[in-house]
Copies of this chain bind each other. A is one copy, B any other.
Amino acid sequence: MEERLISKAVISRLPVYLRYLGELKDEGVEKISSKELSDLMHVTASQIRQDLNNFGGFGQQGYGYNVSNLYNEIGRILGLDRRYNMILIGAGNLGSALSGYQSFENRGFSFKAIFDSNHKLVGDSIRNIPIMDINVMPAFLENNKIDIAVIAIPKTAAVSVVDTLVKCGIKAIWNFSHVDLDVPEDVVVENVHLSESLMRLSYNINERVKEGAE
């Protein structure tokens, strides 16, 4: 089958396009050209056109792109035209923060349960999502169709929890622990390594200083 793989760089730009298009839509803008969008986003028009044409011709020559239509198309490409059931592992500060994001829920990403090993937390709930003992997680997964597991626990605990998750058949992991997870090929992992982000910032702070000193 003729279907080249889309590069990670392209995929990473799709949510950005979506964000800008969403803002335009909210402002009531009906159409936009790749040139206008490129000025807004500070990327080249060529890149926008080429990125989009990986997935189909959504524009019209002499006209441009219909904002609302393109917004929907990109959403569909990103898989935002369905719902996702999630569980959260770790009821700490980060987990609480994540479970509270209304924007995730609005996009169709819905937490169904929170698991923690701290018995003081078990039985409580955060925003109506029950906190359960980590030991009942396998049983829960058997009785509920869960699409995504969110890992918000220290790396020491993460590795073994992920092993369990994989054994239970989880196919997607959003990983906030500072470790590269070793999972089978059919399990997708998206990492959010905050400390790496912070280090990039500190690199750039000092790089900027050096430049200034030249």
Contacts of A77 in B (CB 8 A): 203
At the interface, yes or no: A196 with Cβ under 8 Å from chain B?
yes
A119 contacts chain B at the CB level, 8 A cutoff? no
A125-166 residues at the B interface, CB under 8 angstroms:
147-148
Question: Inside 8 A of A204's CB, which chain B residues have their CB?
Answer: 11, 172, 188, 190
> Which one, B93, B97, B202, contacts A80 given CB within 8 A?
B202
Contacts of A212 in B (CB 8 A): 186
Separation of A144 and B214 alpha carbons in the complex (Å): 27
- Judge whether A174 and B186 touch: CB under 8 Å: no
Identical subunits present: 2
18-44 of chain A: CB within 8 A of chain B: 18-19
Bound Cα distance A63, B6 (Å): 40
Residues of B within 8 A of A16 (CB): 180, 196
- The answer to whether A15 touches B96, judged by C-beta atoms less than 8 angstroms apart, is no
B97 touches A206 (CB 8 A): no
Chain B residues within 8 Å of A100, by CB: 92-93
